[in-house]
């Protein structure tokens, strides 16, 4: 598995509360602290890390707001992207969230890039105008053709792979913007890029990680509110439902990109 805490996107029902801020019976997304994840029947958490969700709708879809909320923070760092050309490298749950939000904010062209065909199909359904499969297409030539030689104004690294950084430097147009979301470093791999190209492009590079900010829940709460009013639906990212007894199957499926997997919802105590 890539770096990070497995099953760190969690939702459930409050069974006991010692504060008036959170009521028993309330459905909520819960942000775990380091060292704990969602592979448990019960969790103890402070009120500031418990984010209530409405009583309507499947909770296994509301939990996807945690995922997309982290991307909402990153997209805000881009500023006004209306009329721009955006390329998103990686079309897993994070990349698809970037694609979805870029479309909502008026990007002129959104190119989803991923070696998995099922994810490219999903990208088109959530807002991508074009897709590229780098395992089949010549990626840089395809971008040149799709943009009519205009190039990419904003490129996003959502690959989770060390090679993504160098690819983004190569793709972004001169004086463009490069938003880095990926956390990499597994297996001792190092991100590499051509320094001369890096200097020539003079791109604005923005590393984004909402968990490291002073308000790690703010954008997730906003995403919950946006889903509640129907502006966006992160629930479409859920591709599979599995029981806790099938947890190894879920991990294997995710790691192997099997059966069109994007996000797997694991039920520990049953869904409500």
Distance between CA atoms of 61 and 121, rounded to whole angstroms? Answer: 20
Q: 72: exposed, middle or buried (C-beta count within 10 Å: 0-12, 13-18, 19+)?
A: buried
Q: Where in the chain is the domain with CATH 3.90.180.10?
A: 10-67+214-267
The residues that bridge with 113 in the sheet, in sequence order, are 89, 132
Q: What is the pTM of this model?
A: 0.92
Would you call 102 exposed, middle or buried from its count of C-beta atoms within 10 A (0-12, 13-18, 19+)?
A: buried
Of 104, 112, 110, 111, residue with least CA distance to 80: 104
Tokens of 34: 């380091």
Class of domain 78-207: alpha beta
Task: Quote the tokens at residue 153.
Answer: 């104004």
- What three-state secondary structure class fits 176? strand
Radius of gyration of the chain (CA): 19
> In terms of Cα–Cα distance, which of 80, 146, 79 is closest to 112?
146
d(CA 13, CA 269): 10
- CATH 3.40.50.720 boundaries in the chain: 78-207
CB under 8 Å to 262, separation ≥6 — which residues?
92, 93, 96, 119, 122, 237, 238, 239
**Which two tokens mark 147?**
């943009």
Per-block average pLDDT, block size 10, for the chain (272 residues)?
Answer: 68 92 94 76 90 96 95 96 98 97 98 97 98 96 95 95 91 96 74 86 92 88 98 95 90 89 86 57
Position 187 scores a pLDDT of 64
Query: Which CATH code for domain 10-67+214-267?
Result: 3.90.180.10
pLDDT of residue 271: 59
CA dist., res. 177 & res. 206, Å (int): 8
């Amino acid at each position: 598995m890539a770096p990070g805490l497995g099953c760190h996107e969690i939702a459930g029902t409050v069974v006991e509360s010692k504060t008036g801020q959170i009521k028993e019976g309330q459905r909520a997304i819960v942000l775990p602290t380091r060292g704990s994840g969602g592979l448990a029947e019960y969790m103890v958490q402070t009120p500031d890390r418990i984010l209530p969700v409405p009583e309507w709708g499947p909770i296994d879809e509301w939990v996807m707001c945690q995922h997309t909320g982290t991307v909402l923070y990153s997209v805000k760092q881009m500023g006004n992207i209306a009329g721009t050309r955006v390329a998103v490298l990686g079309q897993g749950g994070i990349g698809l969230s970037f694609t979805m939000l870029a479309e909502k904010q008026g990007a002129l062209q959104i190119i989803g890039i991923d070696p998995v065909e099922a994810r490219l199909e999903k990208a088109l359904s959530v807002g991508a105008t074009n897709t590229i499969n780098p395992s089949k297409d010549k990626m840089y030539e395809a971008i040149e053709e799709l943009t009519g030689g205009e190039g990419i104004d904003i490129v996003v690294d959502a690959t989770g792979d060390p090679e993504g950084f160098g690819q983004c430097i190569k793709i972004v147009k001169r004086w463009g913007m490069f938003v880095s979301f990926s956390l990499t470093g597994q297996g001792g791999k190092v991100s590499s890029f051509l320094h001369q190209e890096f200097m020539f492009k003079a791109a604005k590079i923005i590393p984004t990680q909402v968990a490291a900010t002073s308000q790690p829940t703010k954008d997730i709460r906003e995403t919950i509110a946006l889903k509640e009013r129907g502006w966006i639906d992160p629930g479409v990212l859920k591709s599979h439902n599995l029981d806790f007894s099938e947890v190894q199957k879920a991990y294997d499926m995710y790691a192997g990109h099997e059966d069109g997997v994007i996000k797997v919802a694991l039920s520990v105590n049953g869904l409500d």
